[in-house]
Structure 1
Amino acid sequence: MSRAGLAVRGVHKAFGDAPVLRGIDLSVDPGTLVAILGPSGCGKTTLLRLLAGFDRADAGSIALNDQILADDRAFIPSHLRGIGYVPQDGSLFPNLSVADNIGFGLPRSGARAERLAAMTSLIGMAGFEGRMPHELSGGQQQRVALARALALQPTLVLLDEPFNALDANLRRTLCADVRRILKESNATGILVTHDRDEAFAMADIVVVMRNGVIAQTGTPRELYDHPVDLDLARLVGTAVCLPATLKGGVAQTCLGALPVINSSACPEGRVLAMLRPEQIRPAAAGHDGVDVAVRGSSFLGPLIWLDLLCRNEGLSVPLMACWPAAEADAIGSSVRVVVNGAAMVFPVKYPL
């Protein structure tokens, strides 16, 4: 028996001769919000469809709270799984009001009105019950779609890139709202997205998929600070790569000698050292550092991004740094910088 929660074991799926999922294993504890992150074509939407019961796996098993939903002997159809589903565009019924959309599928009992009131309050839309979908903003439509998915008190809620059609500011706001709503409902949720910011903002745990397999699973902080390889490091954030020589757990770079977090990942010798942009900091007055040229800057409200060039021992290495905008006074044609924290190292097979 699987433990309570969602348990996916050895799931394979192909379309014709093209494998899409190749041995997926995933466990999700009750009440956890998980984001499945990856580029288009990695298999994340296919996995979501298998969980929902829209498609069948070629091999493997899916269980929810110790009930087998699908394996080589059993298959429970989607409408009997107790799973809520929020599609990309909300897919509200255009001829039904907000209340009727949310209540679609609820039994006509005395508790129905109470449940509708609870749902509209939860999504912050009390008083909108009589509105029609075309009278709502995109964000309001997605809230209604989420309330409809939660109204039947599902064991699991699946969200298929629900913020795709929204502008950036609304996506940030709605992402925070959806996380709050799911947490207040004590729901287990799985979000599929190709957007790192959405995944990090929404999820307790992020599952990164590549080429039909799970590349790494962890908290957003774990993935950002300790990616398994440089490709994944670049997927979850900006990576600043420096040619380096690794010896004795220290990487010698154009920015000086840097301690290394994962020195056992590469043999000693030539490597790439990876930093995050916020680790490259302005040196305090009177402190040692390395002078680098400023090639450009981008002001983004509270932050400023710097395009830098480090010239050292015949090398010209491009750098990106991210500073609080309050430190912009230190920026001229050149700046002196230091590195805060340790680097990670990766094989030189990766391009800069």
Structure 2
Amino acid sequence: MLRFLANLLVVFFLFSLSISANALPTLGLGPFGPGVQDGTAPFNADGNCANDTAKANAGDDCGEKNNQVRNQDTVIYNWSVTANNYTPGQANPKNVVLEQILHPSTHAAVGFERIPARCTPAGDGGTNPPSSITTEANGDIKLICNLGEFNEGQQVSFSVAVKVSGESWNGETFTSTQRIYSNADDGTANATTATSPEIGPIEISARPMLDLISSVFRGYYVYGKRDIGNGLENGYYTYYNFRVATHKKMGTEAIPQPFSFISELGAKKLAENGANYIGNGMEYYITQCIYNPSGWGDEVYGKETYGSLSSYPLEKKVIESGTCTFARTNPAQKDSSYTMTVTGADLSGSRFPKKTIGGSDLSAGPYYYIDMRVQFFIPTRVIDLADG
């Protein structure tokens, strides 16, 4: 009888220990509402989609449920997090954390657009660990979203946005893995971890669609002197701008840098329909090529760090025009063209100017990446040879 009671006590103790060891709150993670939305309207811009779940041609997208997304577009992950099965008297988990990791292929440039507001202390999020976005050594991108304290039966839904950069190559992919967990301040688990199935691969759709645009001749002259090989000469400095833009806000693939193009100055003698000066001695010299700092109304400013935001608002600036260099195609011929080379420009398309300097609306395009100002010098004697 005593042996039976002893065995019964051991069994009861082990059973009680088992209950205690497993009596942690149960966390749940799954899609909410539309789940994953891989892209935003307008879709089928090229008109070649058979339906909204088909794969589009490069640079286009057929819909938000086809595992395809354009450059410069956004993938939205809509999450639902739940907490249940609390033990009576047990303290609530104080730091319930969503960990979401993006796994991009070699030439997929993607990232979390921001830390969701729900993951911040102002949005009832927790602080241990603090919410963060980091890039791992292997190139993965990790979001830590601390949702804070959860009561039993609580459900929270929120969205996580992922932006696809214009630096991504067409056909590259990325996947997402995610889990929800909670630890006490000492690092021990105080709720059961839950995972959600891997999402993707989502394929990136892009094609080069950049335009090179030259402004009109400014008709703005600054008198000066310059040594162009024969001592100081009188002459005039004047300007034109060139811009790089796309007509589509999404789906544009960045071109490799540096990139180059030919710039040639044209001029007419005496009248607009007069004889062409090109190849007939129209001597000129490009002297400067920089991001646009000038306030001409049809331009935008050439980098977002130029000037104060109060005087030079962000909505009138590109991100970064980069560095411009120039070289005469035939140094011995003083009327020959120049090769212009640009490097270091931001071609991601993560943000575009919304207005020109003069206030014209750019919401429907063109979508500018670069605005450079080119200065050139024309000797006075060249103008005199044209009879004024």
Task: Decide: shared fold, TM above 0.5.
Answer: no
What TM-score bracket applies, with the shorter chain setting the length? under 0.3
Which structure would you say has the larger Rg?
Answer: 2
| Bigger proportion of residues as helix | 1
TM-score by length of 2: 0.22
TM-score by length of 1: 0.24
